[in-house]
């Protein structure tokens, strides 16, 4: 198998999204607490930024806390928020050194103040960096994102007549423009670690045509080889977006 570093750059996915799952199961297997699993998982996050950048990926989005994760035990939620708030300031110098920019997706207004403060500082300190975007998805839900876009669309008109006309002519492209994802490329490759084969409300809109890749490796045990394998698998696929293979290969009429 070729490594991702040997692949022509134009084939490499621009935006890789990762559902970082399996922290709890990994910890259980080691006889550790779930929180220790999250701690080890957070360390992989640091590595994956470097691996993705070295592979030529331009954006990596990381599912760190879903809108459904509020249903977890209070202690685990507090542990996750505290972990993020303590790890982020330690990661910022590394991100600056690696020229990585941090962006955030999700309704962070619902996070505890100390987590919001750490996020704000990380985003501010890295805002001019250009080598890779790290999109931290926190209190993120794909369904909520689409609902918010619909609300935003509805509230963007001065009067009911304009609104009714726009609604009658509403297209996916128009609604997408209200999602606030101007800085974000469509997801090319969506990876889920930890063995489950579901999307769990991540990037629902983009899941329409993202290439999906599932691995049994739990997130704390994820390696550079795992990422390279996923990218190589992606490169070997033919993305047809509804067309025929012949059209894609240019041997049939457009």
Report the nearest approach of ligand IPE to the CB of residue 157 (Å). 35
> What is the Rg, in whole angstroms, of the alpha carbon atoms belonging to the chain?
19
Determine which one of 21, 133, 188, 226 is catalytic.
21
**Cβ distance to ligand IPE smaller for residue 31 or 242:** 31
Active site residue 21: yes
Closest-CA residue to 34 (of 239, 232, 245, 220): 220
Phi-psi region at 230: left, alpha or beta (left = phi > 0; alpha = psi -120 to 50): alpha
In this complex, which beta carbon is closest to ligand IPE, that of residue 30 or of residue 174? 30
> Residue 4 in 3-state DSSP?
helix
- Give ∠ CA 185-104-154 in degrees, rounded to 5: 75
What minimum distance in Å lies between the beta carbon of 218 and ligand IPE?
7
Residues at the contact surface with ligand IPE, assessed by CB under 6 A: 19-25, 63-66, 69, 80, 194, 196, 198, 200
Determine which helix (DSSP H) or strand (DSSP E) holds 85, and give its type and residue range: helix 74-97
**In 3-state terms, what secondary structure has residue 40?**
helix
Task: Decide which of ligand IPE, Mg ion, none touches 64; Cβ closer than 5 to 8 Å per partner kind.
Answer: ligand IPE
Looking at the Cβ atoms of 1 and 29, the one nearer to ligand IPE is: 29
Element housing 189 (H / E): strand 189-192
Least spacing, CB of residue 37 vs ligand IPE, in Å: 7
Is the CB of 61 or the CB of 69 nearer to ligand IPE?
A: 69
> Residue 226 catalytic?
no
Give the interface segment with Mg ion, choosing from 17-25, 47-55, 77-85, 154-162 (CB under 5 A).
Answer: 17-25
CA terminus-to-terminus distance, the chain = 33
Identity of the residue, 13 or 79, whose beta carbon is nearer to Mg ion in the bound complex: 79
Return the structure tokens found at 47.
């590595």
Asked whether position 21 contacts Mg ion by CB under 5 A, the answer is yes
Write the CB contacts of 72 (distance below 8 Å, at least 6 apart in sequence): none
Q: How far is the CB of 242 from ligand IPE (least distance, A)?
A: 28
Residue 21 CB, nearest distance to Mg ion (Å)? 4
* Three-state SS at 249: coil
Q: Name the residues annotated as catalytic.
A: 21, 69
**Which residues are near Mg ion by CB under 5 A?**
21
């Amino acid at each position: 198998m070729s490594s991702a570093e040997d692949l022509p750059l134009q084939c490499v996915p621009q935006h890789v999204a990762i559902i970082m799952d399996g922290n709890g199961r990994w910890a259980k297997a080691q006889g550790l607490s779930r929180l220790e699993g999250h701690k080890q998982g957070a360390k992989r996050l640091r590595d994956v930024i470097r691996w993705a950048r070295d592979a030529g990926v331009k954006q990596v989005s990381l599912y760190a806390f879903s809108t459904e994760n509020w249903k977890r035990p209070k202690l685990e939620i507090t542990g996750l928020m505290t972990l993020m708030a303590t790890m982020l300031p330690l990661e910022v110098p590394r991100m600056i050194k690696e020229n990585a920019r941090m962006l955030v997706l999700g309704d962070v207004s619902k996070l505890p103040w100390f987590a919001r403060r750490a996020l704000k500082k990380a985003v501010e300190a890295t805002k001019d960096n250009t080598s890779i975007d790290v999109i931290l998805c926190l209190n993120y839900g794909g369904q909520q994102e689409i609902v918010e876009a619909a609300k935003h669309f509805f509230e963007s008109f001065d009067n009911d007549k304009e609104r009714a006309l726009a609604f009658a002519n509403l297209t996916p492209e128009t609604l997408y423009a209200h999602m606030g994802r101007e800085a974000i490329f469509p997801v090319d490759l969506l990876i889920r670690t930890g063995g489950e084969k579901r999307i769990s409300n991540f990037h629902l809109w983009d899941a329409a045509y993202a290439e999906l890749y599932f691995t049994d490796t739990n997130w704390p045990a994820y390696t550079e080889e795992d990422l390279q394998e996923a990218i190589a698998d992606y490169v070997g696929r033919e993305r047809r977006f509804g067309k025929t293979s012949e059209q894609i290969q240019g041997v049939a009429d457009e």
